Chain A
């Protein structure tokens, strides 16, 4: 019953450092997503991948890159971390693109950039 697995759970970076957040799902879902959650802002979409081999920008893509490595894995990279990227990051997946498809979330990564 793993579902959506994210690593790491916590990370502290210095400004300018880079890192990659990893996400994997074992539900054979086609679509995968990266959100960030900030106080008072709700969940905002960074990037998504509708299917293996495709990625698209969401609402707040600046400062991030993504890779859909295969159907299971979708990683988020911060090339040069900034304090504004301090947030909780959630990976999510769902089977398809329909409006009635619910999202399944990972447990989140708490990232602090000093």
Chain B
């Protein structure tokens, strides 16, 4: 059965800290992995990863895929209160499946 597991489930840090969020997956015929940020409302797209070992970066956020370990990490450096959100990881479950299979998310809280 296809599975996406995120850890930790929740995390509380102070402004300026660096955090690492984890996503592991078990899917038939892996093709891509996507990260989304969900604040109060709609999830918004952060990164799409398809190749192992290549880092995607956007400002203080970066992500990398490890196909050998079937996992990805999302790093946030110098955290700010605006980074407080649920971070979701998702993968297409199987060839031809018209869907994204989501993990339960990591809730990040950044304290001033």
Please report A residues at the B interface, Cβ cutoff 8 Å.
4, 31, 33, 35, 40-45, 48, 50, 56, 58, 90, 97, 99-100, 102-108
In B59-102, the 8 Å CB interface with A consists of 88, 90, 92, 96, 98-100, 102
Partner of A40, one of B44, B50, B98, B104: B104
Contact of A99 with B104 at beta-carbon distance under 8 Å, contacts A90-B42, A107-B41, A108-B42 already known? no
Interchain CA distance A45-B52 in the complex, whole Å: 27
Q: Determine if A105 and B43 form an interchain contact, defined as CB atoms under 8 angstroms apart.
A: yes
**A residues near B92, Cβ cutoff 8 Å:** 99
Main secondary structure of the interface of B (DSSP, over half): loop
What's the nearest-Cβ distance from chain B to residue A104, in Å? 8
Partner of B99, one of A4, A48, A106, A108: A48
Chain B interface extent, by class? 20 to 34
Interchain CA distance A35-B48 in the complex, whole Å: 20
Partner of B32, one of A40, A50, A99, A106: A99
Interchain CA distance A105-B42 in the complex, whole Å: 6
Partner of B48, one of A31, A33, A43, A102: A102
Q: Determine if A42 and B103 form an interchain contact, defined as CB atoms under 8 angstroms apart.
A: yes
Q: Determine if B104 and A42 form an interchain contact, defined as CB atoms under 8 angstroms apart.
A: yes
**A residues near B104, Cβ cutoff 8 Å:** 40-42
6 smallest beta-carbon distances between A and B, as pairs: A99-B31, A105-B42, A42-B104, A43-B102, A99-B92, A107-B41
Closest to A48 in B: B98
What's the nearest-Cβ distance from chain B to residue A74, in Å? 13
